[in-house]
Chains A and B, each alone.
Chain A
Amino acid sequence: GAVVSQHPSRVICKSGTSVKIECRSLDFQATTMFWYRQFPKQSLMLMATSNEGSKATYEQGVEKDKFLINHASLTLSTLTVTSAHPEDSSFYICSATTENEKLFFGSGTQLSVL
């Protein structure tokens, strides 16, 4: 079946540094990818929707200059958390949609900012 690979699964960084998270669709072309964040014991909140070759659409309250999303190809989307701070520590999950609208999730990235 379709697989979405998310990397890294866990990252620890110092405050002020930037972190890049990759989301790859391994055996299908993802027309649309979504990025979510999840705080401990809370729900998944949609951050942005990205379509290949175009700018991402951010949800209200999500800083687009802080959370840079690049969807350069039909199999890869990246989320870069710029100048990370401890309050950015969270679980980030990507998902990708196939051409026939099936949705698959990555395994998530636990970001810890010290």
Chain B
Amino acid sequence: AQSVTQLDSQVPVFEEAPVELRCNYSSSVSVYLFWYVQYPNQGLQLLLKYLSGSTLVKGINGFEAEFNKSQTSFHLRKPSVHISDTAEYFCAVRNNQAGTALIFGKGTTLSVSS
């Protein structure tokens, strides 16, 4: 079974500052990793995903994440945040077998203020 730990429940930052949202996972098999963003009262939007290949993954809205197998981490980063980045961010994992579900972390609330 897989599990995901998002180390920070809330991350407050000022506009234009860099941000890192931390995610660690646990799995006995190879995994795929994802970051989703959820705005209030809305569904999920995929930011980026790691399936294989380059460990540095670039996503939408200027976000990127790096897969670190030795540290079992998949931290999300953005060099300069905007007010509009305020949202809930979820890290998710699934194994590489067909038909398996995503397992989500508890989420990190990113609050960007001016």
Residue numbers of A with Cβ under 8 A of B are: 6, 31-32, 34, 36, 41-46, 49, 51, 93, 95, 97, 101, 103, 105-108, 110
Residue numbers of B with Cβ under 8 A of A are: 41-44, 88, 90, 98-99, 101-107, 109
A-side binding surface: helix, strand, loop or mixed?
A: strand
Q: Contacts A32-B99, A43-B90 hold; do A107 and B104 have CB atoms under 8 A apart? A: no
CB pair B99 A43 closer than 8 Å = no
Smallest CB–CB gap between B66 and chain A, Å? 22
CB pair B98 A42 closer than 8 Å = no
CB pair A105 B101 closer than 8 Å = no
| 7 other A-B residue contacts (CB within 8 Å) besides A51-B99, A93-B43 | A43-B105, A44-B44, A45-B104, A93-B44, A101-B98, A108-B43, A110-B41
